[in-house]
Amino acid sequence: MLKELEIADIIIDKLANASHIVVLTGAGVSAESGVKTFRDPDGIWAKFNPQELASIDGFMSNPKLVWDWYQERRAIVDSVLPNTGHLALAELERIVPKFSIYTQNVDKLHQRAGSQNVQELHGNIIENKCFDCNEPYFDNIEKDTLPKCKKCGGRIRPNVVWFGEMLPEQVLRNAERDASHCDFFITIGTSGEVYPAAGLPELAVRNGAFALEINANKTNISRLHQANIFAPSGLALPVIVELLKNKTR
Ligand code: OAD
Ligand code: ZN
Judge whether 86 counts as a catalytic residue: no
Contact between 131 and 154 (Cβ < 8 Å): yes
Order of strands, sheet of 99-103, starting from the edge strand that comes earlier in the sequence: 118-120, 99-103, 21-25, 184-188, 210-215, 227-230
Q: Which residue has the higher pLDDT, 143 or 243?
A: 243
Q: Are strands 123-130 and 136-137 parallel, antiparallel or unpaired?
A: antiparallel
Give the model's confidence band at 211: pLDDT under 50 very low, under 70 low, under 90 confident, else very high.
Answer: very high
- The pLDDT tens digits for 61-75 are 999 999 999 999 999
pLDDT at 4 (0 to 100) = 59
DSSP symbol at 112: H
- The pLDDT tens digits for 152-193 are 999 999 999 999 999 999 999 999 999 999 999 999 999 999
CA of 136 to the centre of ligand 2 (A): 8
Which residue has the least CA distance to atom 19 on ligand 1? 232
pTM: 0.96
**Which residues contact ligand 1 via a Cβ below 6 A?**
26-28, 31-32, 37-40, 43, 50, 54, 104, 122, 161, 189-191, 193-194, 215-217, 219, 232-234
Task: Out of 20, 86, 110, 122, pick the active-site residue.
Answer: 122
Q: What burial class does residue 210 get, using C-beta atoms within 10 Å of its C-beta: 0-12 exposed, 13-18 middle, 19+ buried?
A: buried
- The pLDDT tens digits for 18-58 are 999 999 999 999 999 999 999 999 999 999 999 999 999 99
> CA–CA distance from 247 to each of 71, 112, 212, 243 (Å)?
45, 28, 18, 6
CA of 88 to the centre of ligand 2 (A): 39
CA of 129 to the centre of ligand 2 (A): 8
**Helix axis angle, 9-17 relative to 233-248, nearest 10°?**
60
Which residue has the least CA distance to atom 35 on ligand 1? 38
